[in-house]
Structure 1
Amino acid sequence: MKTMKVSLVRARYPSVWEPTNLMYVSSFIKDRYQGNLEVQILDGFFDSDEQILNQISCSDYVGFSGTTPQVPHIKKLSKLVKKEYPSMKTIAGGYGPSLQPFKFLNDPTIDYLVVGEGEQSMLDILNGNVNQKLVSSTPIADVDSIPNPDRDSIDLNRYISIAEKDEGRRVTSIMTERGCAFGCTFCAEGQFGTIWRKAGLKNDDLEYERAVRLRGRSPKLVVEEMIEVRDRFNITFFKMNDAETNPSRAHFLKLCEEMIKQEVNVPWGCNMRCDKVDDEMCEMAVKAHCEEFWMGLESGSPEIHRDINKGTTVEMIKKAFDVSKKYGIKRRTYALLGTPLESYETIKQTEELIDYVDPEIIGFSILAPYPGTAYWKPEYDKLDWSQIDEFSNTTWSSSNLTNQELRTEQARLIEKYSDKLAPIIRKKQKLGMGGSQTLDSIMGAM
């Protein structure tokens, strides 16, 4: 029987993390495909376009994945592949293509467009069960049925060594759940359910099923995976790869209990919602060797908190930071500048809140109106999203402050809290991302 050969490629981005989504797709198709299958996972961060083309030369299918800033590289790679290997089948998927499907539907260098969760759709393509370009599946309800991410088809040590250099520890990520139960206007995870929904074409328009908002993994299986990865790769710190790890209080506590029971004994950190942090959570987290909470502060303005629909208040934030400090947990936070109601006065309120909670680590970002958020507009398609992200962009302004004024405030706050800066902010400063395009210049050219 002929062996089917599949290459999965993460498009280029200036910073890097494990391509967990592709690792899950790989493990799923290896487990379910009825036949001989070989899978390799490549990464544009490490591999040049020429290297990627050489390494995929024997593939039957090549799948590209990335977020919105990675879309231009996906499109570039698909053109190169079709020129070099005209008969090779190309697939685009991930957050970027799922949120901007019409960028790919009419692209002749893309054979299949996966919108939404990728595991079942990829399997359907390989099994020949697809007769149209757009492929979309209802998200898998039982996420415990998906095998652990495929760490054999990548060189995981390439990623670990970067963390070891940057942070002095061997770090990798673990996912405890999929999706997000909340509706923050600034995040594609919240407002529209991101890629956790099935899509279909009707009269040239996309129609979506209701998003499958949140699915938790079995704490027992999560911890068994942690132990396996810990021992195999000598991991000294785990990052939970969730939108937030505590949307369900019961699930979080069971996760901690299982870590204690199975004696993981490796420190870890996770995103936490401030409205759900309490003494019992902190006490259990510390017993389970959790050392860091990453909590979005966003703003010190009560009015902005109501406007962004996050469901948190300034008082909730103060309480969460106070109680986690009491238990010696390192607190990392994020401040989001530039939501529509932002003004000098609201930034002053944010500054006052930061001074009160006194986090150990902080990052300052400016709203990026990504596809899938409440702030996206069709005219933003004209922007070069490879030069835009939430840490550095020259595109966005609030109702009261210009983009230049927002960036000046961001720079001022970065300087003021320079001893607390998150590593990603320092990296972005070195990379100099942000470009020189503005919405005014883009709109003037239309």
Structure 2
Amino acid sequence: MTSAWKRILLITTSWEEVSLSSMGIDKNLDIKCNDSNHYPLGLAYIHSYLESQGHRVTSLFLNNHPYAICLSRLIDTITVFKPEVIGLQILTPNRVSSFQTIEYLHIHYPDIKIVIGGIHTTVMYDQILKKYPYVIAVLGEGEITFAELMNSFALNGIPLGNTRGIAYSKDGIVVRTVDREPIENLDVLPFPKHEAFFTEERESACIITSRGCPNNCSFCCLNPLTKRRVRARSIKNVIAEIEWLIKKFPQLKSIWIHDDSFFLNPGRVIEFCDEIISRNINLKFTCSGRCKPITREMVIKLDQANFTQVLFGLESADENILKKCHKGITRDDVIKAFNLFKGTKIELTAFLIVGLPGETEETVKSTAKFVQKLQRIKYIYYTNLAALAVYPGTELYEISKADGILSDPYWLTDQTTPLFTVEHSQVELFQFKEIMLDYLCCDRLFKRNGFFKQFFMIPYIYWFKLHHFWIPRLKGEKV
């Protein structure tokens, strides 16, 4: 490949400093500079694909750093690397710092081409391009589109409009080209550039074995990116990546599987586990999944393959709320799933959200009491839970717009990602969180409200603490 554009810097900038979703009545959320956090696989895939096409690429993962540090690192990298193109991953929680970065680059480095992508870009490209007409937006999955865009930059004879899956401004008008379909055969992509995000201290890697989710939850913004289409890598390809990781990073101890629908095909999960077992791969695995479909055989295989944690998205235990948000599960499904995992070494998490449409103080208490039933089957350790945030591209955002609470210009302000306040105020949502945590957070057991609401949970709390905290500490293990 011959191209005039060979030096590309990819960056994901600072998260917003305050997350309303994670806050409580008297609590704030401070940024923690922790580079051992999960790294951006989307950026890692684009990095490796661009390299495979002959470009020189550097990536900066700065979500967990205050913006002053983020900007300083960016300037230092530009000075040394001298990129001709900078690509920014824009998600709703880092949109403010992304916009600040775009403005800074345009003023101080006007010759550098700016490309933006990510879910927020895909949904809100029109307003972004109207404010920043000098950037180009990559919509949807970015590997092939970004690489083709580099050719458009390099060869004067190729107009931007010939590149599928982008949007740009021309003569004051936003132009969107023909959509690019999601990549069907994921095996054709090179492995993501893990080494761009690894240090000698990092002991955990991130992978995805599939892309997309067939569901349509009212609060989820994934659909504009993957169009509810699930595409899976071959298990052979996934295992090859894991074995490469083991050879490349001898310190590796665990892998997080970040699929949106890992449990969609139990037979495929079993095939994956069989390969892990037969090859004696001695790593710990964590994944997220839905409460159905799950089979007992699949759970046994997960246990044998050393899956140590499975994270379920429960959100609520009120049947009406589950229907309204199109969750596609019932209380019975959740009970069945937890019973299937009973007796295994696998820890379970059930994510909860307060404030979904239809939420009341009674539904909050009902959900909390239901989760206590789950804790009696297999204890779930809670320190916090989420208040419902609103993202562009979701059904909840359309409800908020129709009610007059939010509008598109909000996303160009420096305000934090908002909560869903159509039915309840922010303070009421925080109060709902406090009620639920009094029922479920064992660290509140010795507080007045927590003691009375968790008194009958003491044997289960004791057993969990004994086996997950006290005994491991006596053995000198990390907790």
- TM-score range (shorter-chain normalised) is 0.7 to 0.9
Instruction: Tell me the secondary structure at the aligned position of residue 275 of structure 1.
Output: coil
434, 438, 442: which one aligns with 1:419: 442
Q: 2:286–2:309: 8 Å Cα contact kept in structure 1?
A: yes
Check 1:130–1:344 CA distance in 2 against 1; reply closer, same or farther (3 A cut).
Answer: farther
Counting aligned pairs with the same residue, the percent is 22
Deviations 1:252-302 (A, max 9, x none): 111112211222221111111112222111101111111111111211111
CA RMSD between the two structures: 2.3
1:357 matched to 2:359: no
175, 187, 199: which one aligns with 1:144: 187
23, 37, 52: which one aligns with 2:74: 52
Q: How many residues align?
A: 386
Q: How does 1:359-398 map to 2 (within 5 A)?
A: 359-362=379-382, 363-377=384-398, 378=401, 379-383=406-410, 388=416, 395-397=419-421
CA distance in structure 2 between the aligned counterparts of 1:212 and 1:78, rounded to whole angstroms: 31
1:181 corresponding residue in structure 2: 214
Instruction: Tell me the secondary structure at the aligned position of residue 6 of structure 1.
Output: strand
Q: How does 1:284-295 map to 2 (within 5 A)?
A: 284-295=301-312
1:253 corresponding residue in structure 2: 270
CA distance in structure 1 between the aligned counterparts of 2:414 and 2:340, rounded to whole angstroms: 39
* 1:417 Cα deviation after fit: 3.0
Check 1:417–1:231 CA distance in 2 against 1; reply closer, same or farther (3 A cut).
Answer: farther
* Structure with the higher helix share, 1 or 2: 2
Q: 1:78–1:110: 8 Å Cα contact kept in structure 2?
A: no
CA distance in structure 1 between the aligned counterparts of 2:75 and 2:293, rounded to whole angstroms: 47
2:225 corresponding residue in structure 1: 195
CA distance in structure 1 between the aligned counterparts of 2:83 and 2:334, rounded to whole angstroms: 50
1:113 corresponding residue in structure 2: 137
* 1:130 Cα deviation after fit: 4.9
* 1:109 Cα deviation after fit: 5.9
CA distance in structure 1 between the aligned counterparts of 2:212 and 2:61, rounded to whole angstroms: 24
* 1:420 Cα deviation after fit: 7.0
Instruction: Tell me the secondary structure at the aligned position of residue 350 of structure 2.
Output: strand
Q: How does 1:22-421 map to 2 (within 5 A)?
A: 22-31=43-52, 33=53, 36-44=54-62, 45-46=64-65, 47-57=69-79, 58-108=82-132, 110-128=134-152, 129-132=158-161, 133=168, 134=176, 137-152=180-195, 154-157=196-199, 161=202, 170-189=203-222, 193-196=223-226, 211=227, 213-233=229-249, 234-358=251-375, 359-362=379-382, 363-377=384-398, 378=401, 379-383=406-410, 388=416, 395-397=419-421, 399=423, 401-419=424-442
Q: 1:333–1:361: 8 Å Cα contact kept in structure 2?
A: no
Higher Rg of the two aligned structures: 2
1:424 corresponding residue in structure 2: none
Instruction: Tell me the secondary structure at the aligned position of residue 62 of structure 1.
Output: strand
Where do 5+ consecutive residues of structure 1 fail to align? 162-169, 197-210, 422-446
Check 1:240–1:387 CA distance in 2 against 1; reply closer, same or farther (3 A cut).
Answer: farther
* 1:241 Cα deviation after fit: 1.0
CA distance in structure 1 between the aligned counterparts of 2:128 and 2:421, rounded to whole angstroms: 29
Q: 2:266–2:295: 8 Å Cα contact kept in structure 1?
A: no
Instruction: Tell me the secondary structure at the aligned position of residue 225 of structure 2.
Output: coil
CA distance in structure 1 between the aligned counterparts of 2:263 and 2:159, rounded to whole angstroms: 38
Q: 1:69–1:388: 8 Å Cα contact kept in structure 2?
A: yes
Check 1:155–1:297 CA distance in 2 against 1; reply closer, same or farther (3 A cut).
Answer: closer
CA distance in structure 2 between the aligned counterparts of 1:79 and 1:184, rounded to whole angstroms: 34
Q: 2:216–2:327: 8 Å Cα contact kept in structure 1?
A: yes
1:11 matched to 2:1: no
Instruction: Tell me the secondary structure at the aligned position of residue 195 of structure 1.
Output: helix
Instruction: Tell me the secondary structure at the aligned position of residue 140 of structure 1.
Output: coil
Check 1:29–1:119 CA distance in 2 against 1; reply closer, same or farther (3 A cut).
Answer: same
Instruction: Tell me the secondary structure at the aligned position of residue 336 of structure 1.
Output: strand
Q: TM-score if structure 2 supplies the norm length?
A: 0.75
